[in-house]
Homo-oligomer: A and B are copies of this chain.
Amino acid sequence: MPGKIRTALKVDFDKPAGEQPYLHNRWHPDIPFCGTIKNGETVKIECLDWTGGQIKNDDSADDILNVDLTRVHYLSGPFEIEEAEPGDILLIEIMDVQPFQDQPWGFTGVFHKENGGGFLDEIYPDAAKAIWDFEGIHCTSRHIPGVKFAGLIHPGILGCAPSSEILAEWNRREQELIETTSLPKERVVALPPLPTSVHAGSASDDIKEKVGKEGARTIPGRPEHGGNCDIKNLSRGSKVYLPVHVKGAKFSVGDLHFSQGDGEISFCKEPQLALISIIADFPGGAIEIAGEITINFKVMKGGQKELGMVNGKSPIYIPGPVETQFGPGRYIYFEGFSVDEHGKQYYNDATVAYRQTCLRVIEYLRRYGYNDYQIYLLLSCAPIQGHIAGIVDIPNTCTTIGLPVDIFDFDIMPGAPVKKLDLGSCPMAYKK
């Protein structure tokens, strides 16, 4: 008879993440199992927030400015899923995600251009922070007054471990890109294995050294297993069909978000320095939380072939049925094109276009009294809709952002009277 759901992994807030044996920060088949889950079982898994507590619930952005980006991205796992073997699909169903009841808050950060950076850092180079307080399904921020919304809570990262062969292929093709890119050499185009700051769970020193040499970084998602996909709709009720590549699946999960906008725009765009190459993708752009995820696990024997997946590519998923519903007519859509703010034309560059779309929203919301950093933070974590509208009409790619009007306390519809309000500011920090 079913009963209380088992917690398969508990984290420890009094111990450094790097010392907790059920966490890891590389993808590698040799990282030892941290526990076992039955085929068909539902369990709870606790996750740390991605900085291990470096960011405080206060009104200063100094912690964002000075964040130590070598100490990040710890995943809970890997778990052995009984009966799972290569060629199978691990069907996971996300039954719930919750912040810890005694930590009802999260943060969104804009990183300084010289320590992480962000999507708009050429225009907005400084560090900024917003703290969000949760009351049930809703969040509000004393740093961005006038908005309240229900979180579409989800894990930023989940996936099964690569096999040795797949890992080798990842390393081969990413190394090839590094070696053959025509981009300037200061541009970091991929993140090769890095022996420092490795955490391989409860691995022996030998294994840990091997993981450091070969282990794939957790920053990019990858076609063979998913990983860091940051899909904002992978919330409660979603099902994900994950390819299994090693016996027991070695499933891991982490990087929980209370809410995120499409594209997670505020976080680091690209590291400018080789030194920073270890820290490239910081999910500081969502509302970052520690919390607990409840997952049901089922093994589909031979599922990769059944689903038509060639070479184990790629995960598929089905969103849950409980997304926030605003109605299509309750979004204002902004358009952006691949012409930058200096009038420079780019050739179908979706990144330029999306950045312009963000600027259009900033210009629009600025009229109500927000400063630009507040809007930048908001765009990153509120449930905005980011779409590619036209990708082939040379030379202009068109992207759009749908801004839900119902998250605001006041009426932002075009045509409604615009009254400038005193909306304060968010905490900021500057390099000296």
The residues of A with any CB-CB pair to B shorter than 8 Å are: 1-5, 42, 57, 91, 94-96, 101-102, 104-105, 119, 133, 135-138, 142, 150, 169, 172-174, 176-177, 181, 183, 188-191, 219-223, 226, 228-231, 233, 236-237, 241, 262-265, 267-270, 280-281, 294, 296, 300, 306-310, 313-337, 339, 343-348, 350-351, 354, 356, 360, 363-364, 366-367, 386-396, 398-400, 402, 406, 411, 413-415, 418
Contact = CB atoms under 8 A, between A and B. Distances in A.
A308 B190 contact: no
A343 to B, nearest CB: 6
B223 A336 contact: yes
B190 A337 contact: no
A287 B357 CA distance: 28
A424 to B, nearest CB: 14
24 contacts: A2-B104, A2-B133, A95-B135, A137-B322, A173-B343, A173-B345, A176-B344, A190-B395, A220-B394, A221-B335, A221-B337, A221-B398, A229-B389, A262-B388, A269-B392, A307-B364, A309-B363, A316-B334, A316-B360, A318-B333, A321-B324, A321-B328, A322-B322, A325-B328
Contacts of A320: 137, 150, 328-329
Given A330-B406, A350-B388, 17 more contacts: A91-B415, A138-B237, A150-B322, A169-B343, A188-B394, A190-B394, A230-B389, A230-B393, A262-B388, A265-B391, A267-B392, A307-B414, A316-B364, A321-B325, A327-B327, A330-B330, A386-B387
A408 B330 CA distance: 14
Contact of A314 (B230, B294, B334): B334
B390 A388 contact: no
A391 B263 contact: yes
A328 B221 contact: no
Contacts of A150: 236-237, 320-322
A322 B332 CA distance: 16
Given A138-B95, A177-B346, A296-B135, A4 B394 contact: no
Nearest to A190: B395
Given A135-B42, A322-B323, A233 B328 contact: yes
B387 A5 contact: no
Contacts of A105: 2
Contacts of A190: 345, 347, 394-395
B230 A329 contact: no
B229 A390 contact: yes
A190 B339 CA distance: 12
A319 B329 CA distance: 5
A229 B308 contact: no
B388 A223 contact: no
Contacts of A136: 94-96, 236, 294
Contacts of A142: 1-2
Contact of A394 (B219, B265, B322, B339): B219
Contact of A262 (B135, B336, B387): B387
Q: Which residue among A320, A328, A354, A402 has the maximum number of chain B CB atoms within 10 Å of its CB? A: A328
A64 to B, nearest CB: 17
* Most B CB within 10 A of own CB, among A263, A395, A400: A395
A321 B135 contact: no
B316 A393 contact: no
A174 B96 CA distance: 45
A44 B223 CA distance: 44
